[in-house]
Amino acid sequence: MKRTVHALLFYGFSVSAYGAEISVLSLSPEQALVMVRGDLIASDADTFRTKTTSLTQAIVALSSDGGNLLSGIDIGTQIRMRNFKTWVPDDEKCASACAIAWLGGTTRLMSPTARVGFHAAYRIENGKALETGAGNALLGAYLARIGLPDRAVFYITQSAPHEMTWLSFADARAQGILVESFSLQGANEKPVPSSPPTEASREIEQQKLPHIAPQPQTSTGISSEPSFSCEKAKRPDELTICSDSKLGQADRLIARLYATANDKATARGYLRTQNIFRTDCGSDPVCILSVQISTAQILSSYGATGFGIPQWMTDYRDALLKQGRGRLWAPSLPKRLGACQQTQIIAIADRFGGEIHSNPESGSSVTFRNGGWIVSYSKEPQVLRSRIGDPVEMCLASIPKNCPPGDDRGKTYTITNYRTGDVWTLPDAQHMCGGA
């Protein structure tokens, strides 16, 4: 069946001279495969909308050299709003506008033998392709809406119109572009994955928690070896920690703080969240260390004792900053009233960070991958219906006025959960600016 699906994907019909071919194949009563092949033209976005309007779950398989940028952005937006997955299958190419549509997937799948390529937006003038600032602005706004970090936006638009940046899995990890490898070829074929929220939740829930093993000690009493095995390290943040003894020492310190925390359940949830932030740092040592410092400070507040936050951590961070080795981690939130951003739920808890169902009077809170946090004194039904890994839109709904200098608490954000369809608005703090 799987090889039949692959044969039908792109070789069962020819490329149309009038835009892309868009076909729908039913895989099950709940799941469909949408096949898009050929150069995108302006009307293809409406064709895609018409052919997918009745679908509830779908994987969108793409193969194209590119085409109309606005069509690619429109199709990518539809894909994101409909919570569809995207996939570039074995030996296929998805470049330019096609790659922009592929980025819209709430789960992005790519075969190891596929090629996904990016370049800057352009217009044709006197027969020449010229980069266009307006086009790049539209592209950058779309990439921000689907939650990609600034470094990914730069990566995607860095090549000139006549050049191409081909995405590798290593580059995807380094640039903060979430991509999963999936292929129908080979003996160990895997089934088509289930719904995106489940996969995203698995990625988040499997964030590694520290396991302490005996290691050589430094003069500070803390090992310079990290708490995880460097032989098994694959992510850019892990490889960076393994290559820097001070970052390794900081990781070991965090493991010991976690081991001595009184409130293990709350500490565990917080540590998973921080590990996601650290993952998104890629190979930036300043970003990694700033997350490590924050993690150590919070774990200390959960009853961890005996270690404290050593001065060398902040001294080393400042030295790296002075050398221009990277940037501090910071939330990437909508800044203008009404501005929106695509992101992902990475933690659901009560307002104290504990298990949300532990106490009916403990309220609710949500942490997002962009560093945002919202909170309520009530058990918000929309929060209770949400899951870790859900793709959401976060819009800045209100900004408090007449706040004391340095106190900007009280912003409210409107959240749209793409999976449940729920919309709700909550503040980013339990008290308004100037309050307790």
Each residue's pLDDT tens digit, 300-315: 766 555 455 788 899 9
d(CA 149, CA 280): 9
Claim to verify: residue 355 and residue 305 sit in the same structural domain? no
Residue 390 belongs to domain spanning: 340-427
Q: How far is CA 285 from CA 237, 238, 324, 326, in A?
A: 8, 10, 10, 6
227 Cβ neighbours under 8 A, 6+ residues apart: 210, 211, 212, 213, 251, 252, 254, 255
Is position 191 within any domain? no
Q: What are the tokens at 358?
A: 């532990």
Claim to verify: residue 15 and residue 107 sit in the same structural domain? yes
Claim to verify: residue 166 and residue 205 sit in the same structural domain? no
Is position 188 within any domain? no
125, 153, 183: which is the final residue of a domain? 183
Claim to verify: residue 15 and residue 157 sit in the same structural domain? yes
266, 296, 322: which is the final residue of a domain? 322
Is position 80 within any domain? yes
Is position 136 within any domain? yes
Are 293 and 285 in contact, with CB atoms under 8 Å apart?
no
Supply angle C-alpha 94, 95, 96, rounded to 5. 140
Is position 195 within any domain? no
Claim to verify: residue 137 and residue 81 sit in the same structural domain? yes
Percent of the chain surpassing pLDDT 70: 84
Claim to verify: residue 205 and residue 295 sit in the same structural domain? yes
- pLDDT score at 122: 75
- pLDDT score at 133: 76
| CATH number for the domain that contains residue 24 | 3.90.226.10
139, 155, 183: which is the final residue of a domain? 183
Are 192 and 121 in contact, with CB atoms under 8 Å apart?
no
Claim to verify: residue 413 and residue 272 sit in the same structural domain? no
DSSP, res 157: H
Is position 328 within any domain? no
Are 336 and 307 in contact, with CB atoms under 8 Å apart?
no
Q: Where are the alpha helices (DSSP H) in 356-419?
A: 381-384
d(CA 58, CA 281): 31
- pLDDT score at 218: 44
Claim to verify: residue 317 and residue 347 sit in the same structural domain? no
Claim to verify: residue 95 and residue 162 sit in the same structural domain? yes
- The pLDDT tens digits of the residues spanning 332-351 come to 999 999 999 999 999 999 98
Low-confidence spans in the chain with pLDDT less than 50:
1-17, 186-198, 200-206, 208-221, 306
d(CA 125, CA 398): 43
DSSP, res 231: G
Claim to verify: residue 49 and residue 114 sit in the same structural domain? yes
Q: Where are the alpha helices (DSSP H) in 14-105?
A: 44-52, 69-81, 97-102
Count of domains for the chain: 3
- The pLDDT tens digits of the residues spanning 120-155 come to 887 777 777 777 777 778 888 888 888 888 888 889
Is position 132 within any domain? yes
Q: Which residue has the tokens 């995203």?
A: 200
Claim to verify: residue 315 and residue 390 sit in the same structural domain? no
Claim to verify: residue 9 and residue 133 sit in the same structural domain? yes
d(CA 152, CA 342): 14
Is position 362 within any domain? yes
d(CA 388, CA 376): 18
